[in-house]
Amino acid sequence: MIFWAIILIVVAGLAWIRLAPSDPAVWHVDPKVTSDQDLAGGVRRRIPATDTTFQELDRIILATPRTEVLAGSVDDGMVTYVTRSQWMGFPDYTTVMKDEDVLKLYARLRFGQSDMGVNRERVDGWLQMLRAQQG
């Protein structure tokens, strides 16, 4: 009986990770990026931006598997994306905001204390693709 109770708790926890609602009021907020930072649960980046940089980055981000827009738009000047891990469905949130001639990116985890560098790798990969496109 204890075995089945443990299995039920694990399954319920995994279901919560996959099905928990994402409240835009919590996640779609000013990223407050003042400098590049690698954090235990995420990453902050600032890059120079032209008039088309945000649109180009938006296309790159939306081409990432298991990624969708939570709130906002390029036209609004701020977008928050949700990217889920392949196996467990853990959500990571990335907010991109245009601030004059700078794009501010803040990627962070929702569950846990450390993302083991996943957000850093993802964001730095996006920025590398963006640089390659811009030549």
The answer to the question of residue 5 being in a domain is no
The answer to the question of residue 6 being in a domain is no
Instruction: Provide the number of structural domains found in the chain.
Output: 1
What burial class does residue 92 get, using C-beta atoms within 10 Å of its C-beta: 0-12 exposed, 13-18 middle, 19+ buried? buried
Structure tokens at 6: 């443990």
The answer to the question of residue 126 being in a domain is yes
The answer to the question of residue 90 being in a domain is yes
The answer to the question of residue 9 being in a domain is no
Query: What average pLDDT score do residues 65-83 get?
Result: 97
Using the predicted structure, report yes or no on whether residue 17 has a pLDDT greater than 70.
no
Domain with 102, as residue range(s), is: 23-134
**CATH for 125:** 3.30.310.80
- For the stretch 93-105, pLDDT in tens is 999 999 999 999 9
What burial class does residue 56 get, using C-beta atoms within 10 Å of its C-beta: 0-12 exposed, 13-18 middle, 19+ buried? middle
pLDDT at residue 20 in the model: 81
pLDDT at residue 109 in the model: 94
Residues 92/108, Cβ–Cβ less than 8 Å: yes
